[in-house]
A and B are shown apart, each in its own frame.
Chain A
Amino acid sequence: MAILHVSFGPQHPGSGPMRLILDLEGDIVVKAVPDIGYVHRNIEKLGENRSHIQNVPVLERISNIDSFNASLGYLMAIEEIMGITPPPRAQFIRVIMSELNRIMSHLYGLSISFETSGLLAPLYWGIADRELFLDLAEMVTGSRITYTYAMPGGIREDLPNGFKEQAIKTFNYFEKRLDEYYDMIFENKLYQMRLKGVGVLKPDDAIKLGATGPTLRGSGVKVDVRADEPYATYEQIDFKVITENAGDSFARTLVRFNEIKESMSIIRQSLDKLPEGPIRIKAPLRTPEGEAYARVESGRGEIGYYVISDGTDKPYRVKISAPSFRNISVLPHMLKGAHMADVPIILFSTDPWPFDSDR
């Protein structure tokens, strides 16, 4: 049969600003080549010309719906080079904001992935419920999506009064809503028919090809930076690493769904254990010479920051290892042999975010 070359995106409602060049034989994908680079801003070069505090707003734009995690990694690397440790209260608040971002990012990613399979109602529900968490973030930092909230040595401002009560109220409401979501989506026989067995990634391939985050955990591999290399105050908090064994799109989506509940539990524990104290310590203006590699678990996977400092207040080299960059490179393996109708389903089950794969 003749091969039909189809360009899936970038002007496509089902792809986001990246392109997949598909070779179709009938309805089956024979080869898929991702084409990224449509939103390349070369943030690593920009980072070399700015001081550390100026870099925080630039670097959090690699992943704007998950921006706190993006800036946290950079600051952890800087603080390691400087040799300072933020005070415990700042670390706990960083964990709270980090998990809040994870919930927001997962809700957004899940809503979009439900829409690709044809299920429209959860798309609207997810975006509407996400507003409650954006309101919580606005209470603390003043903005909804990109915060510039953390800084070298700690965080900018303390939590406002009434945050804890508002957060608990939101979580109590949302935990009930999660049960409704589960009944509507994951118990839906047609949804299971569309997603189970589609885009299977075996655990050995996942590790070898470099998958990360829920894509890796959906194949049964228990790798999570928060558990492997606890940063901030994750060692003092009790949480589970969520995995599913099937390795198909259903498993990956279910991993992200269950992580939302886990994040809410982490925030509850942090709010209970929050100590009194200062929220930042003074960081030196010039960083000593040195280098550090910091790893953070964001909604999509592990963000790695490799920072080399040469003694001035600007970094010599900032290298960002982005989760979507690694996950999208696994796509050709997953898409081989899939139906064309499954392409957006598999694509969105890995939660691609072209802004951080392009940087």
Chain B
Amino acid sequence: MSLDLENKLAEEIKSHFLEAEVKVQRKSRITVFIGRELMIEIARYLNKKMGFDQVVSVSGVDKIKENAFIIVYHIWSTSKKVLVTLKTQVPRDNPSLPSLIKIFEGVNWHEKETHEMFGIKFEGHPDLGRLLLPEGWDGKFPLRKDFTLTQ
């Protein structure tokens, strides 16, 4: 199976963002790892210039051993049929990064849920309140690795 399209797209991203680590995993999967300061710029580039229009998932990963959170955005292109996994890393004791809501309107609830489960702040998000957890929850973040289920 030829990976021409994916390689071409990966080359284009690498040429515009020299600090990014870009890798083609398999057909329709490209992974991009970039620093948090460039998140808004690369998201805008992917959306406007390369046709990646739908954010299908936003998740946090708690790397407790490295004392960091990794935030992963999966963005799909309906025209090119390729998924880009956009990853960035934030320190665990001050987890905050700019929200992509002005570029992708659909990340609203996804970022809200990630905030609720991990405690990651998305700057510029209009309403990071309660979504899934019940009212009166004591404020701990369930999906962090130091939250055990017996609590």
Co-complex (A, B): yes
Chain A interface residues (CB < 8 Å from chain B): 36-37, 40, 42, 44-46, 49, 80, 207-210, 212, 221, 223, 228-229, 293, 295, 302, 304, 306, 308, 316-317, 319, 321, 325-326, 329, 358-359
Closest to A305 in B: B57
Determine whether B50 belongs to the interface, using a CB cutoff of 8 Å to chain A. no
Please tell me if the beta carbons of B149 and A317 are within 8 angstroms of each other in the complex: no
A44 partner residues in chain B, CB cutoff 8 A: 117, 143
| Contact of A45 with B56 at beta-carbon distance under 8 Å, contacts A37-B134, A329-B109, A358-B132 already known | no
Question: Which of A36, A49, A207, A306 contacts B54 (CB under 8 A)?
Answer: A207
Binary per-residue interface labels of chain B (89-103) against chain A in the complex, 1 for a CB within 8 Å, 0 otherwise: 000000000000000
Are B28 and A321 in contact (CB-based, < 8 A)? Answer: no
* Chain A residues with CB under 8 A of B113: 325
The A-B contact count (CB < 8 A) is 80
List the B side residues contacting A229 at CB < 8 Å: 28, 81
B120 surroundings in chain A (CB, below 8 A): none
Q: With CB as the reference atom, state the residue of chain B lying closest to A318.
A: B59
Describe A's contact surface by its main secondary structure.
mixed
Are A208 and B53 interface neighbours, CB within 8 A? Answer: yes
Indicate if the CB atoms of B131 and A37 lie closer than 8 Å: yes
B37 at interface, CB cutoff 8 A = no
Report the bound CA distance from A321 to B57 in whole Å: 6
Check if B105 is an interface residue, CB within 8 A of chain A. Answer: yes
Tell me if B133 and A207 are in contact (CB < 8 A): no
Q: Can you sample 19 A-B contacts with CB below 8 Å?
A: A44-B143, A45-B142, A80-B26, A207-B78, A210-B54, A210-B107, A212-B56, A293-B57, A295-B83, A304-B57, A306-B57, A306-B72, A316-B61, A317-B59, A317-B62, A325-B109, A325-B113, A326-B56, A329-B108
The answer to whether B142 touches A210, judged by C-beta atoms less than 8 angstroms apart, is: no
Residues of chain A with a CB closer than 8 A to B132's CB: 36-37, 40, 358-359
Q: Is the CB of A321 within 8 A of B130?
A: no
Query: Taking the complex as formed, is B74 at the interface, i.e. its CB lies under 8 A from any CB of chain A?
Result: yes
Query: Which A residues are in CB contact (< 8 Å) with B56?
Result: 210, 212, 295, 302, 304, 321, 326
CB distance from A231 to the nearest CB of B (A): 11
Contact of A293 among B29, B55, B81, B147 (CB under 8 A): B29
**In the complex, A208 Cα to B108 Cα: how many Å?**
11
Give residues of chain B (128-151) contacting chain A, Cβ–Cβ below 8 Å.
130-134, 142-143, 147, 149
Which residue of chain B has the shortest Cβ distance to A223 in the bound complex? B78
Cα of A78 to Cα of B54 in the assembled complex, Å: 24
Question: Chain B residue with minimal CB distance to A221?
Answer: B78
Task: Write the chain A residue with the least CB distance to B114.
Answer: A319
Contact assessment for B57 and A49 in the assembled complex, using a CB-CB cutoff below 8 Å: no
In the bound complex, CA of A37 to CA of B28 (Å) = 33
State whether B59 touches A306 (Cβ < 8 A): yes
Q: Which residues of B contact A37 (CB under 8 A)?
A: 130-134
Complex contact A293–B108 (CB within 8 A): no
B103-132: contact bitstring with A at CB < 8 Å (1 yes, 0 no)? 011111110010001000000000000111
Q: Are B53 and A49 in contact (CB under 8 A)?
A: no
Q: Mark B11-48, 1 if CB is under 8 A from A, else 0.
A: 00000000000000010110000000000000000000
The 10 residue pairs across chains A and B that have the minimum distance between CB atoms = A210-B106, A321-B57, A319-B59, A37-B132, A329-B109, A40-B132, A228-B81, A304-B57, A208-B105, A209-B106
Residue from B53, B54, B117 having most chain A Cβ neighbours under 10 A: B54
User: Which of B56, B104, B108 neighbours the largest number of chain A CB atoms within 10 Å of its CB?
Assistant: B56
Question: A40-B133, A42-B142 known; A293 and B85 CB under 8 Å?
Answer: yes
CB nearest neighbor in A for B127: A33
A306, B53: Cβ atoms closer than 8 Å: no
The answer on a CB contact under 8 Å between A293 and B54 is: no
Chain B residue numbers with a CB within 8 Å of A208 are 53, 104-106
C-alpha spacing A325/B113, complex, angstroms: 10
- Shortest A241–chain B CB gap in Å is 12
Cα–Cα, bound, A16→B143 (Å): 27
- Contact A49:B149 (CB < 8 A) given known A36-B131, A319-B57: yes
Name the A residues within 8 Å of B130 (CB-CB).
Answer: 37
- Cα distance A128–B28 when bound, in Å? 41
